[in-house]
Amino acid sequence: MTVPNIVTIRDLTKTYQQGEINVTALNNISLDIEAGEYLTLMGPSGSGKSTLLHIIAGVDRPTSGECRVQGIDVTRLNESDLADWRNQNVGFVFQSFNLIPVLTAFENVELPLLLTRLSRKQRREQVNTALELVGLLDRRHHLPKQLSGGQEQRVAIARAIVTDPALIVADEPTGNLDSASTQEALGILQSLTRTAGKTVIMVTHDPKAAAFGSRSIHLEKGELVNE
């Protein structure tokens, strides 16, 4: 059975100006990612892996080329449509968790749902389900400062999955975690691909973290070096 591609990238190039120097972050990249894959992007600093992740997630734009996610060329969407698209289709997990400090774990997870038409009751049910999935339902009324780093990252994962997106992007999600918390977070991401059919794209420097993925690709100087 052929698994459809969730991401199709063709001839993607990203250049930007750094002072007087023209830097090529991505150079003519073409890549297909199948639905349900757990893809890890590896490479040294400045290789363009985060830039590629940002373009796939619709928070950055390429200089040229095409990036289709679920059949939609996200490079052609305007700001407003792109924001809607991100809300419905992409879940973000960041290295430094990026929870809103004045909101409880429950409220942080609920944030993306405020943009939907769900009722308060429906939102509560979805948030509880997401928090239960990451094992933090009992900590839902805690503020981020009352949680450990690993718990904060699990709340961030719950926030990423609460809208039930097809794609989850993670930018070095274990960079600030100890080894136990790293195992927990990576285990959750892995189970999302295996049990819920989500596609996870993760940037990492850590080969141990990359081992959790179903496929790993390497970038150097903005180019794919092997797959």
Of 212, 222, 225, nearest to 37 (Cα)? Answer: 212
Which ranges in the chain belong to alpha helices (H)? 49-57, 79-89, 105-110, 120-133, 149-161, 179-195, 207-210
Q: Which is nearer to another protein, 5 or 12 (CB)?
A: 12
**Interatomic CA distance for residues 35 and 157, integer angstroms:** 19
One residue of 4, 63, 115, 208 binding another protein per CB under 8 A: 115
Q: Which is nearer to another protein, 156 or 217 (CB)?
A: 156
Q: Which is nearer to another protein, 120 or 121 (CB)?
A: 120
What does residue 91 show for φ and ψ, rounded to 5 degrees?
-115, 135
Q: Please report whether residue 98 would count as binding another protein according to CB under 8 A.
A: yes
Mark residues 60-79: x for contact with another protein by CB under 8 A, - for none: x------------------x
**Interatomic CA distance for residues 194 and 64, integer angstroms:** 34
- Residue 222: how many other CB atoms lie within 10 Å: 23
User: Segment near another protein (CB under 8 A), from 30-38, 113-121, 187-195, 203-211?
Assistant: 113-121
Q: Please report whether residue 94 would count as binding another protein according to CB under 8 A.
A: yes
Minimum distance of another protein from residue 3's CB (angstroms): 27
Write out the two tokens for 97: 């968790």
Which of positions 158-177 make contact with another protein (CB under 8 A)?
A: 159
Which of positions 189-218 make contact with another protein (CB under 8 A)?
A: none
Contact 136, 167 (CB under 8 A): no
Angle at 173 between CA 23 and CA 205, to 5 degrees: 55
Q: Which is nearer to another protein, 137 or 214 (CB)?
A: 137
Mark residues 9-48: x for contact with another protein by CB under 8 A, - for none: ----------------------------------------
CA dihedral sign, ordered 201, 84, 70, 161: positive
Write out the two tokens for 17: 């100006």
User: Segment near another protein (CB under 8 A), from 31-39, 68-76, 101-109, 203-211?
Assistant: 101-109
Minimum distance of another protein from residue 194's CB (angstroms): 25
Q: Give the burial string for 96-117 (b: 16+ CB within 10 Å, else e).
A: ebebeeeebbbbbbbebbeeee
Number of residues located near another protein, criterion CB under 8 A = 28
Which residues bind to another protein, rule: CB under 8 A? 54, 57, 59-60, 79-80, 83-84, 86-88, 92, 94, 96, 98, 100-103, 106-107, 110-112, 114-115, 120, 159
